[in-house]
Chain A
Amino acid sequence: MKNSTRREFIAASAGAVALSYAIFRSTQGWLTQMGQVAGIGVERTLGGKLTPPNARDIDPVSHALNRLTFGPGPGDHARVSAMGVEKFIEQQLSPEKMDDSLCDRATARFSDMWNEPLGEQYDAEPEALPPVLRRVTLLRAIYSERQLFEVMCEFWSDHFNIDPGKADCRWTKPTDDADVIRKHALGNFRDLLRASALSPAMLWYLDGRANVKRRPDEKPNENYARELMELHTLGVHGGYTQQDVMEVARCLTGWTIRARRDDGFAKTLISPQTDHFAVFFRKDAHDDDSKRVLGHEIPAGLGKGDLDRVIEIVGSHASTAQFIAHKLCVRFIADEPPQSAVSAVASAFSASNGDIKTTLRALFAAPEFASSAGTKFKRPFHFIVSALRATNASTTADRPLLSYLERMGHMPFCWPTPDGYPATAQHWRSTLLWRWNFALALANNQINGTSIQRARLQARIGSDVGLMATLLGRQPRAEESDAWLKSGDGLALLLASPAFQRC
């Protein structure tokens, strides 16, 4: 490693330093073990009781596991049954208190190609960053004990979607993942919103960096202002007008980032390498006259304070509570959630000033949540991860595994538009064939870098019925047991079955 490059990385701007510091640390950890376990995945320990679910239908324990996690693995039902669902939910709401050493190990050695620290890669090979982010995201979903946290990271990654394929987002999206999404996933919504507004990746992705007013005739760029209200807060029918979009755009003029190179627009903003992507406020490019946003007067002369006023106005708007609550209920309850549940969740959101844990507690306590067991159609990412968890798979999350997600149109961080991957079943039902093929490949160890120990798993659980119940979260129905026997490949059949597509 060249020392100069390393120093540059260490001394780099806030944006660069923040660049997925967790990944960087993990890479350092991995370096110490280099050569020892390169390319070999980890697997969850099959310790403790593996007693499978015994109920005819999905019980509250299986339901909580289905919705708060990316799917139960062998033994999870017994573990959560012993502690009780309420305690499990509270545990999941405090991820910082949970040991996550298995996940740390899985992500520490996530790649045998990754033989240089991220700083070096950052300097030389930007194309490598989004693929690493994808692998790490998949590994965390599979191996982290902090499952609800990972589920919420996925939720907010869609809500504040950024496609790293757009220009310099390939460098800056990992930073956004660490400093915006993961930092605030279970924190306060307004903090999350503000962090997103000033995320270098978001400033790139929705052109905020180009939203400048340097001359009276210069028109603000409305891109971010519109999506801020339409997608991040109020929702498209949340009560804002084209005038509000233009006013919010004016408020945000001047927030920009240091450019990496001359792209014909921001010549004056070219920075030395150590300062790439630093976010800063250009007073000379800010429209400092008075504005009116959603009925609120914003006086002239606030400068960078306009941003805080905008976050406060849109973050505390009643439509925002409804919009976020509805989206959460779609994720955790049903594609068309009952309005009663949405209202209860929205009230908790408003009363707590956007505290995400409080909001989720209200959601999980709603009777509509309890009565929705087994009715949600898993999105492809959820399906793949749940199959890997159910079979206690060992994986490096290498290309052959990721290609199944790509085929189903659900590769993490590949959705091009700011609305994020679709949440509801109708968008994903046409992926059945690829799910079936994944089930066949996984059950027969035909995915390079991913393996299961079918015989050992079956032996540890003790019976076919037990394995079926572990996969289904309930006892198998007569037809499922029958098909298991006749199909010639019971495990693949059950992973491909209608019941396993739902949660």
Chain B
Amino acid sequence: MNTQTHISGNGDDKRTLVVVFLRGAADGLTLVAPLGDDNYRKFRPRLAVKREDAVKLDGFFGLHANLRALEPAWKDGELCIVHGAGGESDTRSHFEAQELMEHGGPASGGWLGRFLRTQNPSPSPLSAIALSPTLPEVLSGAPSAAAFESLGDFSLGGRGGGKRLPSNFSHELRRLYELETDALRDAARNTFDAIARIEAIDPNAQPGNGATYDERDSFARGLRQVAQLIQADVGLDAASVDLGGWDSHFTQQTLIEPLMLRLARGLAAFRQDLGARITTTTVVVMTEFGRRVAENSAFGTDHGRGSAMFVLGGGVRGGRVFGGLQPGGPWPGLKPEMLEGPGDLPVWNNYRDILAPVLTRHGASADALGKIFPDFSLSGLPLFAE
């Protein structure tokens, strides 16, 4: 019997949501290729994923070979994919699209921050973390959020530095910040609380179930530390991990093939490490927009609209690609007249309709969803079995 007192607002479920943002606009048509669509190869004479190389999914779609590490999750029914996914911003601007998508529309603060606020007004100091130098927009407005790159360094005075500190230093520093009345005081409170929680974790513990992360890869290291925090029951509700560099205007394959390998291997190790805890964890992989359907003259693709999103974890209706205009409907095909603007895959599935069922699983009420995604008429996709 587990007698540990959980500090998280999500109680005994201990559910954690991990958001992986592929910054730079990842090409959904390479990640998840519509192999059965003849137009795909016509638009992409040099860049199309070849049928013989792909990881077959359902007879029509195939994953790029560098995503093969995701195949077990697919076969075990823990991974589903939504194609033609994206936001409503049509400026094709990375910054505008990322900001709108992280804010969940033209609202202030991030959707994840607002979600956390609806869940528990005074959560764990480690309720939300970003494995990055600074906090991403998606977490802005969270009641508590910390950004860092390594758990082991999270102490006052540096690694093991607590012992060298004058005994009153921390107390006096805290006292000065408590005299502040703005966001700086809250930032300091979060920092002091997070220090205490993280100091209790052993950063050198081995990953679970024989999982191996590539320690040279910052993305894999980030996921590993998320897993450590989940396993340490520090009350982690949400984590944000970025994988950037997808802006493939030029020699696309050279740019994104290593990224796909890191994405798939990192997620596969994370899933293995968590073992049974994956059932209470959801990973969402998203990107600000996709790339133009037709390749350009430089073996690359320019900014487009729709891309693909991945949802991995417990309870998902895995082994499916939601690729159509209707949930579960057929792929409409890359016919020139179907494309948007300068020749882009349209957004058939708004990212909010993908996030809404995920947040429901993580405890958001219908009322809360209205606050998390204001001014948007939700029609969530049936991504979960429950």
Contact = CB atoms under 8 A, between A and B. Distances in A.
A489 B166 contact: yes
Given A265-B250, A428-B134, A430-B135, A437 B157 contact: yes
B176 interface: yes
Given A242-B92, A430-B134, A430-B147, A493 B169 contact: yes
16 contacts: A219-B297, A230-B93, A236-B96, A416-B244, A425-B183, A429-B183, A433-B156, A437-B157, A479-B175, A487-B168, A489-B166, A492-B169, A498-B180, A498-B184, A498-B185, A498-B188
B385 interface: no
Contacts of B168: 486-488
Contacts of B166: 487-489
Contacts of A7: none
Kindly name the residue among A210, A246, A479 whose own CB sees the greatest number of chain B CB atoms within 10 A: A210
Interface stretch (B116-124, B211-219, B298-306): B298-306
Nearest to A215: B297
A422 B303 contact: no
B296 interface: yes
A346 interface: no
B187 A409 contact: no
A487 B173 contact: yes
B191 A433 contact: yes
Interface string A361-395: 00000000000000001000000000000000000
Interface residues of A, number: 55
In the A-B complex, the 10 residue pairs with the smallest Cβ-Cβ separation, listed nearest first, are A409-B133, A488-B166, A487-B172, A429-B187, A430-B147, A483-B172, A210-B298, A409-B134, A218-B297, A432-B191
Interface in B76-114: 90-96
Nearest to B187: A429
A425 B182 CA distance: 12
Contact of A221 (B91, B176, B296, B341): B296
Given A219-B296, A433-B156, A498 B176 contact: yes
Kindly name the residue among A263, A436, A486 whose own CB sees the greatest number of chain B CB atoms within 10 A: A436
B147 A440 contact: no
B179 interface: yes
B37 interface: no
A296 interface: no
B328 interface: no
Contact of B184 (A226, A377, A406, A410): A377
B332 to A, nearest CB: 23
A493 B92 contact: no
A236 B173 contact: no
Interface in B121-175: 130, 132-135, 140, 145-149, 153-154, 156-158, 161, 165-169, 172-173, 175
Given A222-B303, A264-B299, A437-B156, A497 B251 contact: no
B177 interface: yes
A219 B300 CA distance: 11
Interface in B276-332: 294, 296-300, 302-303
A210 B249 contact: yes
Contacts of A422: 134
Contacts of B336: none
Interface string B175-202: 1110110011101101100010000000
B245 interface: yes
Nearest to A437: B158
A3 interface: no
Interface in A199-249: 207, 210, 212, 214, 218-219, 221-223, 226, 230-231, 236, 242, 245-246
B342 interface: yes
A483 B176 contact: yes
A4 interface: no
Nearest to B149: A407
Contacts of A212: 297
A480 interface: yes
A440 B161 CA distance: 10
A212 B166 CA distance: 63
A223 B184 contact: no
A270 interface: no
Contacts of A45: none
